[in-house]
Chains A and B, each alone.
Chain A
Amino acid sequence: MATPLPIKRGLSFAYVARNLIARKLTTILTASGMALVVFVFATVLMMAEGLRHTLGGTGSYNNVVIIRQGSQTEVQSSLTREQANLIESLPGLASADRGQARITREVLVLVNLPRRDGGGLANVVVRGTTPTGMLMRPQAKIVAGRAFRPGSSEIIVGSAMTRGKIGLAIGDRVGFGLRDWTIVGVFDAGGNGFDSELWGDSEQMMQAFRRNAYSSVVVGLRDAGSYDAFARAVAAQPLLKVDIKRELAFYADQSEKLANFIAVLGQTITIIFSIGAIIGAMITMYASVANRTREIGTLRALGFRRGNIVSAFIQEAALLGFVAGVAGLVAAAFMQFVEISTTNVQTFSEVVFRLILTPAIAVQVLLFSVFMGVLGGVLPALRASRLEIVDALRSI
């Protein structure tokens, strides 16, 4: 026989899989190293996603936040009563009961509250709002106690503030602005940014902090299409030097810097780590090739081509990466129970968010893991294919 018979189908996948099972300890060790890298990578992506989800999901599409021109955050902004009245008279706003425009004049301040773990002070957002303001955020529902009474020193707290580092409870008294405020209720806004806030009566907050200007004015649009008309009306008023944004976009923009920072930091670390994991995969695959030199020679003698051998080893490496990816992802899925409380560098205020695993992250992480495996397997696979049949069969 001059030439080996061409085999079109290549080596079966079962052969590839069984090779990994045959060397259990090595497979497990390599896969667990890679799984740890996958775990770190997934966690970082989940963190950035969780932060975006929390702040990006704050507010409603049809609400518009109005702040002083250039002030960027509600805390730095101030709007006078006259400006607020002027905004109320503009066209395009939805009407609340009694035919008035749907509008809430809000005061936002940062208040230091001690952290329960003794780690200093947290800057917590205290929002002075109105009954209309509560109606305009239907996602915030009272889950314990009751709403604050307008005109009183009562406050309600977001559900994230009752857990973790701050740990407030109904009945607690919080001192700020030379007053004691009693917590009468807990609200839950479905895990978005409002959950990290304390809400009370707007006018009471203004008195307590001796201010005569609002921080922001939030209005409800009549319908989704009236934003442009409203924006034009605002721009036409020379007395209104303000920036306006849809509420959803306003809060989403406030998460960008921190989310990007987490993502960049995480990706840098992951790239460095993956070098270690790729080396691990390479060691394993080289050993796999070395141990099976005679086997490879036999396969070649049977008629399998060099390409078949390369493909089998790369499949083996990819499978190794896939197994590691799944293991790392399963471990990372448990991180969804973790809640993180940190300072948003952009607004200087405490924000609590939960890690979120999305299908997109899962796919991205699995692809990354398979890629790590393949990268580790390429060189060993090429070495395997370059073996001469005679030498390979003779080797011990």
Chain B
Amino acid sequence: MLAAYIVRLARKNMWRHRLRTGLTMAGIAVAIVSFGLLRTVVDSWYAGAELGSSARLITRNEASLSFSLPVTYAARIRRVPGVRGVTWVNWFGGIYVDDKHFFPQYAVDAGSYFDLYPEFVVPPAQLSAFQHDRRGVIVGRKLVRKYGWKIGDQVPLKGTIYPGTWSFTIRGIYGGADAKVDEGQFILHWDYVNEALKRALPSLADRAGVFVVDIDHPAQAAAISAAIDSGFANSLAETRTETQKAFQLGFIAMVDTILLAIQTVAYVVVLIMMAVMANTMAMSARERMREYATLKALGFRDSFVSLLIIGESLSLSLAGGALGIALTFPLADAFFKATRDLFLVFEVRPLTIVLQLVSALLIGLCAALAPAWSSARVRIVDGLRAVT
């Protein structure tokens, strides 16, 4: 009863300064939207890595990723019990046109790679065309769209790790089995690169950057990883094996300082809006000091006046918050479309919405604290005499 009454009064009060109310609500909406978007950016960064399969292991050089492993390790890894298949990949790192046109290029073992990555769907005829042409490549659908390539096109890349200019022929186009597969990769023959290296830089030949290991049961991942690594212990190239998911999370850990900064900034925006909103409430309360004193003179309690202010503040912040949450979804979609190359998934999580609501609530409550307290405390005589 009392609550409904207060809400009605609060709504009437909000309407008295339409411009101010509108501006404050817009400000809160902007803050809630940016809070939601920043959180979603951080979430999506991690989400991309968490798509990594835990049924696949990645074996790399123990020293660091910049060291390679002898390709002969493949046979030894395959003999480890529980291993279903092995393939190997090198980071090619070539430049297409210039630095700005970056896409990942992998030199793979053409015979086995696509068996281990069933989520990369290639028409069988194209796959066999790729396997029979050493200079052939298979590229993702997204790259094809971006650069307008078609099957049969020549793509030149300038090597950075592997010197020289390389020319490739597009033999196939892969699509993802679902929306969460990266369709931006450029997959070439490890053999082609290796043959060229044997002639030019023999010291770099017959090496694999990482081995991808398919295992029978994901539950055995830890045991098989340990078995692989112990097989190469105390050799010239020791290995470190982990699940694909852990491997990808390792990459993200490298930029965690930046992610932490974005997260901090997301909370700072809430603080900024708290100050703006507190200002609005303080001004409203000061202007109405005489009204509050009148209410008290009529017999309303101090707590009623406080509740009136808190009610108005909360209605304002929640209305702004709701508007912000509603705007988050179309904006997140637009952001995803604009930055398609950066993220594999971009979804607003339920937790983000809950946090947005909590922030709106907090903004409203904190903003009301000071004016509610001082209005409740003011003596009737002083209040009636107050000059605005």
Contact = CB atoms under 8 A, between A and B. Distances in A.
Is this pair of chains taken from one and the same complex? yes
B272 A36 contact: yes
Given A123-B66, A340-B257, A26 B163 contact: no
Contact of A280 (B27, B262, B287): B27
B279 A241 contact: no
B250 A178 contact: no
A338 B26 CA distance: 34
Contacts of A390: none
Interface in B97-150: none
Contact of A120 (B159, B253, B265): B253
Interface stretch (A3-11, A94-102, A106-114, A307-315): A106-114
Interface stretch (A54-62, A63-71, A183-191, A360-368): A63-71
A178 B236 CA distance: 7
A133 interface: no
Contact of A276 (B31, B158, B159): B31
Interface string B368-388: 001000000000000000001
A115 B254 CA distance: 10
A343 B65 CA distance: 14
A47 B19 CA distance: 38
Nearest to A342: B257
A75 B275 contact: no
Interface string B45-81: 0000000000000000011111100000000000000
A112 B65 CA distance: 8
Chain B: interface secondary structure? helix
Contacts of B30: 272, 275-276, 279
Contacts, number: 155
Interface residues of B, number: 57
B3 to A, nearest CB: 28
Among B31, B257, B283, B287: residue with most chain A CB under 10 A? B283
B161 interface: yes
A336 interface: no
Size class of the A contact interface (CB-based, 8 Å): 35 or more
A69 B159 CA distance: 9
A109 B58 CA distance: 21
Contact of B254 (A72, A212, A272, A342): A342
Interface stretch (A155-163, A195-203, A282-290): A282-290
A345 to B, nearest CB: 7
Given A33-B272, A275-B30, A343-B255, A70 B64 contact: no
A341 interface: yes
A280 B31 CA distance: 12
B205 interface: no
B163 A70 contact: yes
A240 interface: no
A215 to B, nearest CB: 10
B177 interface: no
A33 B280 CA distance: 12
Contacts of A36: 268, 271-272, 275
B63 A112 contact: yes
A210 B62 CA distance: 15
A135 interface: no
Given A36-B275, A343-B255, A286 B20 contact: yes
A153 interface: no
Which one of A213, A277, A342, A345 has the greatest number of beta carbons of chain B within 10 Å? A342
Interface string A269-302: 1001101110110111011000100000000000
Contacts of A33: 272-273, 275-276, 279
B365 to A, nearest CB: 16
A29 B203 contact: no
A6 B205 CA distance: 88
B282 interface: yes
Interface of B: 19-20, 23-24, 26-27, 30-31, 34, 38, 62-67, 93, 95, 158-161, 163-164, 201, 203-204, 234, 236, 238, 240, 249-250, 253-258, 261-262, 265, 268-269, 271-273, 275-276, 278-280, 282-283, 287, 370, 388
12 contacts: A29-B278, A33-B276, A36-B271, A39-B268, A109-B67, A110-B66, A115-B253, A120-B254, A177-B63, A283-B23, A341-B257, A348-B65
